[in-house]
Amino acid sequence: MNDSIAVGLAALNGTLHLLRIQVNRGFVSPNEVDTIYSSIVETMETMASPEMTAIVTAQLDQAIPEIRKFAEQRWVGRGKTNPA
């Protein structure tokens, strides 16, 4: 693994950790979790190598379902009229 890939994966892990913190505090809706997932995947498919895209997608596919589940439980509807 080269340094660029390592830095990218470190950034992804940091992003997922921050997302978990915000979800645990009720700041992120399930829809926003889905939007973040789609945005990351779209960016990877557009700009990254197929190898890097596969690595990132595999990490997201493990992390996002759990994060989304907690968002469903903890979303308090901040700034939304319909948090669903």
Strand, helix or coil for residue 65: helix
pLDDT reported for residue 5: 81
> Could you state, in chain order, the average pLDDT of each consecutive group of 10 residues for the chain (84 residues)?
83 94 93 95 91 91 95 79 51
Phi-psi region of 81 (alpha: psi -120 to 50; beta: other; left: phi over 0): alpha
Question: Is residue 67 within 8 Å of residue 19, measured between CB atoms?
Answer: yes
User: CA-CA-CA-CA torsion for 61, 62, 65, 70, nearest 10 degrees?
Assistant: -140
